[in-house]
Amino acid sequence: MQIIPAIDLKEGQCVRLIQGQKDQVTVYSNDPVSTALRWQSCGASFLHIVDLDGAFSGKQKNFESIINIRKAIKMIIQVGGGIRDIERIDLLISSGIDRVILGTAAIERPGLIFEASKKYPGKIFVSIDAKNSFVAVKGWIETTNIGAIDLALKMQDYGVGGIIYTDILRDGMLTGPNIETIQQMVEALDIPVIASGGISSIEDIVKLAKIKGLWGAITGKALYSGKLDLRDAIELVKGG
């Protein structure tokens, strides 16, 4: 299982939100590049970046910061937030971004998912953000009546490289991940699943690592608050 540190960008700063609420912001750093370098020095192989301004507005606002990070580090980078068309996907991948994450588009423009997955095999991931097992979109503002697993199965059929599954009610709360729903998602799919939301301690990493087939886990607030040591988490999963 891969441990993937997260950088959430808002107005060029590294921040964290509570349950995705844009008015519940904690700023952790005004230097995203140094933050990325810090996580790389801890041994991380992957970095998860979300353009929060893009997620809320529908248009990427932190592209410059993302590219500055890309130039500075060797980690595999996956980027989401405000990506709504094939032109933006082309730009990100041609700029060296390894994986592009689509969220709202999975509901509103499923044809884009199919087109992008065919054009960039293995590079298109879909972020499924759920509240009480139902999909939320547009920066988690709107909750749909679409089941998270139902959408994941549809996206698998469309050829996406993997699913990033976030339990919104756990995100930023440091209350521990929802092991049961993550396991259900992993068991339902044949493609990689990355869990996100609620990781608060090394004990949570232990629990996630016991989910057979879980590809990775994204952690943000626990790292920034000091509740989880990234190097320790990486060494733990490497050691089995």
Going by C-alpha positions, the residue among 137, 157, 138, 148 that lies closest to residue 195 is 148
C-alpha to C-alpha distance for 40 and 119, rounded to whole angstroms: 29
Q: Considering Cα of 65, then 67, then 69, then 72, what sign does the dihedral take?
A: negative
Pull the structure tokens for residue 87: 């032109």
Instruction: Kindly list the structural domains of the chain, giving each domain's residue range(s) and its CATH number in brackets, ordered by start.
Output: 2-238 (3.20.20.70)
- How far apart CA 2 and CA 150 sit, in angstroms, is 25
Within 10 angstroms of residue 82's Cβ, the number of other Cβ atoms is 23
Tens-digit pLDDT string for the chain (240 aa):
999 999 999 999 988 776 555 556 778 888 999 999 999 999 999 999 999 998 888 889 999 999 999 999 999 999 999 899 999 999 999 999 999 999 888 888 999 999 999 999 999 999 998 888 889 876 566 788 999 999 999 999 999 999 999 888 765 555 689 899 999 999 999 999 999 988 989 999 999 999 999 999 999 989 998 999 999 999 999 976
Q: Point out the residues that are catalytic.
A: 8, 129
| Helix/strand/coil for 145 | strand
Relative orientation angle of helices 63-72 and 32-41, to the nearest 10 degrees: 40
pLDDT score of 21 = 58
CA angle 184, 122, 238 (to 5 degrees): 65
- Distance of alpha carbon 123 from its chain centroid, rounded? 14
Model pTM? 0.91
